[in-house]
Structure formats: C-alpha cells, structure tokens
Structure 1
Amino acid sequence: MKRGKVNITTLGCSKNLVDSEMLLNQLDLNGFEVVHDSLDDDADIVILNTCGFIMDAKEESVNSILSYVDDRKKGKIDKLMVMGCLSARYKEDLEKEIPEVDKFYGKFDYKQIIQDLNANFFEKKMYHRLKTTPSHFSYLKISEGCNRHCSFCAIPQFTGIHKSRSIESLLEEAQGLVESGVKELLIIAQDLSYYGIDMYGESKLAELIDKLADIKGLEWIRLHYAYPSKFPLDLLKVIRERDNVANYLDIPLQHISDSMLGRMRRKITKEETISLVRKIREEVPGIGLRTTFLVGHPGETNEDFDELKEFITEFQFDRVGVFPYSNEDDTYAFKMYDDDVPEDLKQERAAELMELQQGISEKLNQQRVGKTLKVLIDREENDFFVGRTEFDSPEVDGEVLVDKSDQIKVGEFYSVKISDSTEFDLIGQVL
C-alpha cells in the first residue's frame, strides 16, 4: 500500500543528483510513490534539493522554494521540505525568511528526513539508488567534502572535510549498477585527487579505477573534478592501459598566472600547471581534457587575463567552462579582498574566453571529420539519434548527431563515421 506521493526536485550538480537518488530509493522502500523533477502537481510531498554554490544558483534555489511555497498555500501540496547546499549554508536565515517551509535540512540529513516522514531508514541500503539518469550511464560519488579551501569557494563550509568511501563499498555499488544495465560510470567527487588519503594514508584513485575497470560489462569509466595540485600521476598509466577507462579527464585549472593562482590559494604555480598538462598528454596520447576557468577574481588585472588567453590559445583544451567570480560570503576572498573587478568586466572576460574556446573547439571538431569513432547513443530526437564519444560527458560537453536508422538503439555503442562538424557537435552515420 502506497503511503503518498513524493516529488524530489534536484537543483545543481551531479553530486546532488546522487543524493536525491539515494533518498528516492529509501522512500520507495518505505512504500511511498516517488517521482523526480516531476512537472505534475499531484504530489503530496515535495522535497527540494537545493544548490548554494554561487549567486545564480542561490537565486534559482530561492525562487524554486518560493514557487513551491505558493503551491502549498494553494493546497496543491501538503508538505514542503528543503535540503541540500543552500539549506545547509543558510538554514537559520531561511527558517526566519520563509517559515512556510515545513522544515529545512542540511546536505546529508537523509535519516532525519526519513524519520520526519515516519518511515524507516535502511542502513544496509544506504548507497542503493533509484536512478534518474538514462539506464545506460550513472554517476558514482567516491567521496564527500573538500580539504582544499580555495579563496573563492564556499563548498567546504557545507560539505565538511574530505571523506572517502572505501574501495570495497564502491566496487560493490558499481557492480550492482552494471548488473542493472549501466555501461558507463561517471566518477565524481569534490576532489578526485584526494581520494583515499584520509582513509588509507595515500592516494588510492589509481587503484580504485583499475579495480573498477575489471568489472565485466562496464565499457566506459569517466573521471570528473581532479584537482591539479598533488595530482596522482599513477592514474595516467591506468587511463592509458585500461581500454574501458575513457581517454578523458576533467581537471579544473581555474587560472594560469602565478599572481591569480596565489590569490586563489590553488597551491600550484604556472610552471607546475604547464608541466602537469604536458605530462598528462605525454602519458596518455590523444586524451580529451576538460577544464574550467574563473575570471574576475579580486585582483585580476588585464595582464593576468591576457596571460590566461595566451595559455588557452597555446594548450587547446578540448572542453572549457568559464565562470565569472561570485563574491561569496564567508569565503577567504570575501573576507580578505575587495571585489574590485566590475561586474560588467567579469561578464565581458567570460564571454571573450568562451568565444576564444568556440574557435578552438570548432577547429578540433573539424579534425575529427572523416574519422570513425565509438559513440554511445543517449537519446532519440525528431531528426537524429544523439550520442557521445569518449571525449564527451553528458550535459556539459559536445554531442554526436547520428542519422536516423532502424538498427540504432538508445543505450548501445556504435562505430560512427564523422561526416561534418559544428562549433561544439559532430555529425555522422553508423557504419
């Protein structure tokens, strides 16, 4: 007998999505009818999993809370519960400002949420999830928290210190996901590079990925968010030698000038960064590198920005994300620096970098025309099937538009000959 319908709505990153999937499973085990990001208004209970990373994300979270408060006032829902990063970061303020919410929770208060719904928390199934992604890929979160304390980042405030999960528990979860039909695992954490140090006394990322690669039926393992400082170089051998570890690495560099790296507290120099990028490409020929850069951080001069543009032009990254600095309260930068780069200049610099990267991406894509690539089909649209190569992660990277054919199925791999390209996407036909 069902106990009511719960709609969990997730804002923010894939790490939040994993938390929501865990909670969905616990509620399902207790007999609730559960949906995720449902646009229908027939749920009895809404649990909003918020993001509190930067200003835009905080505004989206607050607006979503207020929208559901309005639904509650109109009698469309009976109960509204708010969890996640924003809720953890500003819990007391939110309780005062938006008392219509039944309860605000921290980021990891799964057990309290379940208890407040008069349900049981199944400890042995803590990491079991009801997946919200397509059946053929899933995220695997290997740790929580972060010990880095970069000047601009508030994340350690609400995630706490770095806590690795054991290799054994991750292998067990991964095995279960593969048995359920998952063919691609996206390995995520706030900081992959630190994995294992807190638990084993040394980095265990390479060992973990090598053991995951032994799982039969797992065709792609993709790595996200490796911190460049003290990067575990033994990982490169695993990427190079294991066929099912994608030639792909997401390594957020944030900047390149020594002045900005110092002010950002990145614990790495320009020379060390360049040496690392070259080492990665030397050890893993043809690897696709994704990175992110932050512009407009306090103290960033025109010279710093020019240095960053020169770096991007020279090193030709496959994928680049750019963010304008957000002056987040209680961060080191907020306390120690004046927010001295005007907002319009931040936006101008971000747009200029993205325009620069667009040209680089277009050129790199043109070089793939005529080649045959392994492509995983994610979905079907009106005119195309849409897939990805090993150089592309879901939602953040480019895609491959594949001509319609009866033989193609979503969730399967195909050899696709690339016939054309755009700035960010490829076009091809299944062989």
Structure 2
Amino acid sequence: MTRLTDHLIVISFDCLSEHDVPLLRELPNFKAFIEKSSYCTQVETIYPSVTYPCHATIVTGNFPNKHGIVNNTFIQPGRISPDWYWHRSHIKGTTLYDEAKKAGMKTAALLWPVTAKSSIDYNMPEIFANRPWHHQVPVSLFNGSPGYQLEMNAKFGRLRNGLRQPELDDFVLASTVETIKTRKPELMLIHFVDLDSQRHMYGFSSAEATAALHRHDQRLGSIMEAIKAAGIEEDTTVVILGDHSALDESKVVKLNVLFRERGLIQTNSSGKVTDWKAYCKSCDGSAYVYVKDPYDLVTKNAVSELLTELAQDEFNGIEKVITGQEANAKGADGTAFRMLEAASGFYFSEAVQGQYIEEVTEQDAQTKKYTFACHGYSPEKEGYHTVFFAAGKGIRPGMEVRSMHLVDEGPTFARLLGLDLGDTDGRILEGILDI
C-alpha cells in the first residue's frame, strides 16, 4: 500500500467539542490550521464516551466491545480509586502504533491512554500511582520508556505540579517539542487534558475552560513551529481531534445507595463494599449495571423492577434503560445486565453512602468529590459531537466531511502511513486523502 506521508502527528485535545469551533476559528494558530485543513465538526463519538475507550477506538478503528476498553476503570467494588485500563495488553487486536512499529517506523506517544508497557519507542504513558506504597516517577518509568522519560523529566520536570493542570500539559508540550526536534518520529500521538480538567471542575462554558482553549492555541503554535524547526514541515501530516464533548450537570445519581438498601450490596462498618450481587459502574453520563452471578434471576428481577420504577420519574435522573444486548449493538459492553443513560443535568457516581440524588456544590468541585460537567453520555445526545481537522502531506485541503465517526479515524491514519488495521468497524476517509 502506498504511503502518503512521512510523519503523522496526532494531537488529541481531550473534550474538544463542536461548540468550540467558533472560538477556534478566531484563535490565531487554530485559525491558520483550520484554513488549510480538511475537517469535520460533526464527529460522532462512541458509547460510553469516556477518554480511555475513545482513545483506544482512535488507534484501532473499533468500538469498545471489539477492542475491549469498555470504560476508563475496572469493576472493583470496595476500591476507593479503581485501577484504570492503563496497559496496552488490555486492547484486543492490533493498534496503529503496533502496525507502525512492525513496518519499522519510529513511534512516540505522550500521555496517550492505554499505552503502558507498549512497544512504542518513545513512550510517556498516562498512568498514575494508585497504591499508597507507589510513587509516580517509578510507576511512569516502569510502564514506559525509562531513558526517554528520564531525559524529559531532567529537562522539563520543573514545569510539572504533580498531575495538576495546566502545568501537566505544559510539561507534555515541552516534551513534545523536544521529541519532534530531536527524534522526528514517523508516528506521534499526543494527549492534552487541560480543557477536559477545567470543564469537569468549572463547567462546560466556564471562563476557565475558555482560558484552556487559549492555552491550547499557544500549544498548537509551538508544535507547528517545532515541525518547521525540525525541517520536516513538507513531509508531515498533522491531525487535531477531540475524543468527546461534555455536558453540564448539577446532580449526582448514586444507584448503589439503593442497591445497598435492598441488600444487593454489602458493606462493613466503615461503608466499604465487602460483597455485591448487583453494582452500578459509572461512566459519568452513563452507567453499566452488572450482576455478579449471571444465573441469579432473583437479583436480575429485583434490579429490573427498581430501574423500571426509577425511569418513570425524570427527577430520578435516569433518562433511558437498555439491555446488555442493546448496549452491545451500540458498541458498548454487552456483558452488562443493563446500561443507563443519565437525564439532562445528572451523572452517575459509584458511591454507596449518602442520598440517592445529591446536588453538586462549589465545595464538592473544589475537593474533586463531584464535577460540574462530564462526558460518557450517549453519542445520540443533541449537540454532543466532537471534531476532526487534518492538514499537511497526503491531505487534500478544504474538504468538509459532513459527518463521520470516531472509528473512522484509525483506518484513515493507517492509510496515510501505508498501513492496514485489518477488519475494522470504521472506514477510510478517502475523500480527504491526496491519493
């Protein structure tokens, strides 16, 4: 297969939305990029529309039920902080970076989800210390490229402030610029989280979110300058994309509180889950309901009756209840007993204590107990699209794609690099390619 570009740089601005496009067209670096790009401002995301399944979809071209990353975190009732799908080994099938590596290409990734312990040459995986005896630095080093990460930390570690934003993205940017100039990777995946963090904490259209977009514009400008400085501008394709949008919310739905009251979840004196028959696993704007024993008809009937009752009143925060089979048809985890969609203004928590519905307060957001905006909602929600812009070698400029799906991105990237991801759920966007 003919290779259309020598270098592909994919920049994921987490939570970049269709509603951001008017501002992007005014910001200098985004404006200049968009004017020479082919693009889609109506990209349909996946279900559930949370970060890790989305980014696994981007590099595989498949829905979550096929690539296996069905949520951000594992089902671990009783864990205060469940483990995330950090590792490459959780992805079923091949990925864009695997195929690039097989073809002898130089690869790099910075905080790209689900890449821990992958074969990427220069890898700074998104992973954090999730045990009291763990420390962030060795956890990152052990799961990525040690020498590369030590070099980036030595040069730019002063920019970081733990996992806090915008400092973390500032560190990622400095490392990105250095990597482009000194390594010139043929495939580079970059994940910026500043915008997503601000929207969670302050709301979708908050001043803090707008400020993050301005910072992203500066980051984009720095990356484009680095490409020029590296002497690879004419041979490079750059893609800017989002993984999902977000919606404002002010109320938390805690279904596990009702499961505990009905004896479907057991806790100890401190409120920690010790056993369960049914469990609501949050995807923020949606949720899976799992039944521990698939043959436990008593529990299934109890859950069905409760959900039917709750769904009759919009003030209970549940807009829709679908079966595991129906969830599977949408690309989500078909092993779940039920999948729930939150009503407008609501999202789901896995908490087992307190009230079934709780209001989000300013203090909750500051302590990161709850948020003011989130994602995970159904891609069928109105005004919930993300975006895609591509420019450079191998891209026909000025082509508008009216509609596309997140699963289409991986196959299109593979085609640009002359690679094949096999039988994917997505299609190649041939109309934007200069073949």
TM-score after normalising by structure 2: 0.30
**Higher RCO by CA contacts (8 Å cutoff, separation 6 or greater):** 2
TM-score after normalising by structure 1: 0.30
